[in-house]
Amino acid sequence: MAKNNWEILARERSKENKRAHKKIKEITQSRGLWKDKYMAANSQVKKLEKQLAIVKKNLQVIMDL
C-alpha cells in the first residue's frame, strides 16, 4: 500500500510540474508579444513627436513673418 501511495503522489507531482512548465511557457510568450506591441507603439510615438516638433517650428517661422 505504501509503495503505491508514493508512486501515485510522484505521478501527480510530475503532472503538476508539466502543467506549471506549460503555463510558464505560455505566459512568457504572451509577455513577449505584449512587449513587442509596446516597443512598436513607443517607436511610433517618438516618430510622431519628432514630426510634431518640426511642424511647431515651421509654424513659428510662418507666424514670425
Mean pLDDT, consecutive 10-residue stretches, the chain (65 aa), reads: 79 96 96 96 98 96 87
pLDDT at 3: 65
pLDDT at 4: 78
Count the alpha carbons within 13 Å of 38 in the hemisphere toward its beta carbon.
6
pLDDT at 21: 97
CA angle in degrees (0–180, nearest 5) for 38-40-43: 105
